Structure 1
């Protein structure tokens, strides 16, 4: 019972973070606040800074994910946070790195946790299209 409550609370807490990020993303004047929430989320939920995240190669990022042993819910949240952060950046190296790492998280969700969603499949297709168009 305790374990079920813990996962339910964690899921609700992470959903609130994503909802807040989505709300801020839609407001042009909230770009700075969006960055602050993003940085805070990375630090408190995933124990990593954006700089550290961007400096990790894809192989090192995979190793970091494996070592962290995140739950499927937490991995899905990480993927959504990375995708939301990359989206407003347009076409640059920063956005490409974040999108490649988002794909890596989706791969882990599918391979390790056997989870897929229509939303993630759609985002994966959009990311792959973006990466093809921009040669990443």
Structure 2
């Protein structure tokens, strides 16, 4: 029970940070949003942006398995990455993030047996982007 309460509190905190990032983007404060995104990656998910972008699919999969994120936190990680994705721009960075997102969605499905309509829709959009 205590573990579940702690996880719920952590997810709520992450959701607030994600909302703040989105709000900064809407206000046009892109650098502040990027800085908060990078800080959150490191603090909450223990990965730098550089590692995120340079890890191969296998390395990223190994990273995820080693962290043993609960399904809720892994889903929140996908939301962070999806919020940072800019599919209207064809950049190498977007492609790398999209590939990592596909891996997370696959892990949520196969390892945790979690399928959500939101994630399915996002997968479809990412697949079209790639």
Work out whether the TM-score is over 0.5.
yes
Match of 2:114 in 1: 115
Task: Write out aligned runs for 1:37-76 (5 A).
Answer: 37-76=36-75
Q: Which residue in 2 is equivalent to 1:5?
A: 5
Deviation at 1:88, TM superposition (A): 6.4
TM-score, length of structure 1 as denominator length? 0.89
Separation (CA, whole Å) in 2 of partners of 1:79 and 1:116: 13
Q: TM-score, normalised by structure 2?
A: 0.93
8 Å CA contact 2:11–2:76 kept in 1: the answer is no
8 Å CA contact retained: 2:41, 2:49? yes
Distance 1:4 1:63 in 2: 25
Distance 1:49 1:89, change over 3 A: farther
Considering fraction of residues, name the structure with more helix: 1
The count of aligned residue pairs is 130
Equivalent position SS for 1:12: helix
Deviation at 1:13, TM superposition (A): 1.1
Contact (CA 8 Å) 2:74, 2:108: kept in 1 or not?
yes
Long gaps (5+) in structure 1: 132-136
CA RMSD of aligned residues (A): 1.4
Structure 1 segments, 4+ long, off by >6 Å, are: none
